[in-house]
Every structure is written in C-alpha cells, then in structure tokens.
Amino acid sequence: MTNFRDPTSLGTPRLLLRRLHSTDLDGFATVNAQPEVMRYIHDGRTLDRAATAERLATYRRHWDEHGFGLYAVEIKETGELAGFTGLAVPTFLPEIMPAVEIGWRLGRAHWGRGLATEAAQSVVAHARAELGLRRLVSIHVVGNEASARVMVKLGMTLERETVQPDTGRQVRVYAMDL
C-alpha cells in the first residue's frame, strides 16, 4: 500500500493544518466577528459573513496562483476550526516585495495555549523543506505584542518599522532566512 500524503495538509501533535474549504465559512466567520481578534488586522474592523466569504475565496485562489497559502487550523481532539496560519504574498506592503509572509489568526478561545506558535513552526518547516523558500517575513501592527512573541519564537528578528499604506497603521516587519 502506498503512503499517500496530501501535500496541502500538515500535522502537529495537537493540530491538523489543511487547505481552507468553503465548508469552513461558518467557523471562519465566527473568528472574524470577534473584535479582540480583528483589532490588529487590516483596519481593525470585524468582518461579516459576506466579507468573510470573499476573503475565503481569495485565500483559496492564492493556493492556485502560488502553490502555497493559508491553512485551516483544526483542533485534532475536537475537529473545531481554531483559525488559520500559513503563507501569503503581502502585496499590501509594496516596499518589502518580493516576499512571502507567514501569518496566523486564531479565535479568542484558542489564545494563550501556544497553538499559533505550534502551527507556524510546522509551516516554517514545510516552507524550508518542501517549498524551498529562502526567506519569510511576518508583519504585525504595533501594539500586537502577542503576535510579535510568536515571531521571535519562530526565530525571526525585527527588520524594519514602517507604515501600512492603505491603513496608515504603524507596522513592524520581522524576517528570517530559511
């Protein structure tokens, strides 16, 4: 029997990371509706179900265009969608292009348990070993210290501070060579 591994899914001791599906809309909409979660995302506004559906479609297209993308973060024990982590091309910050960004977003109930770090470490290993990427960046809005801690745990270092052009928000760019 052949061991057939899905190249679009990854596993960790507690998590299944898999491509986002249209069936993830309700769980993803729940995450995007949480003000605490969205506080540091783009302009800080929550997203309704329709806006979440548009984002989900965009994230799914990204996979087709680039061969990598965002993974649903699913709790193995319960099957619950906790949020996402993965790779994207950060065109919203033109001054750092070309680049590949690693990012994450988890629902509030899943904060403080090391899940973002666990998921992101798996993606970094995949980016290095399977995708052959040489460098990753991560961008956070100033004030989002929890996200910055994940970046440091991944081995990233602060590269620059700048302003996100479409929102005017102060951001920090962290980077790491793979």
**Domains and their CATH numbers in the chain:** 9-177 (3.40.630.30)
Residue 163 is encoded by which pair of tokens?
A: 């302003």
CA–CA separation, 51 vs 100, rounded Å?
24
pLDDT, one tens digit per residue, over 81-97 is 999 999 999 999 999 99
pLDDT, position 3: 31
pLDDT digits (tens, 9 = 90+) for 29-53: 999 999 999 999 999 999 999 999 9
pTM here is 0.91
Mean pLDDT of 15-26: 94
Neighbours of 160 (CB within 10 A): 12
* Cβ(19)–Cβ(9) below 8 Å: yes
Burial of 50 (0-12, 13-18, 19+ CB in 10 A): exposed
Instruction: Please name the residue that has the structure tokens 């949480």.
Output: 34
User: What pLDDT does residue 9 have?
Assistant: 87
- In degrees, rounded to 5, the angle at the alpha carbon of residue 89 between the alpha carbons of residues 87 and 92 is 125
pLDDT, residue 72, reads 96
| Alpha helices (runs of H) in 9-153, residue ranges in sequence order | 25-32, 35-38, 49-66, 115-129, 145-153
CA distance 156 to 145: 14
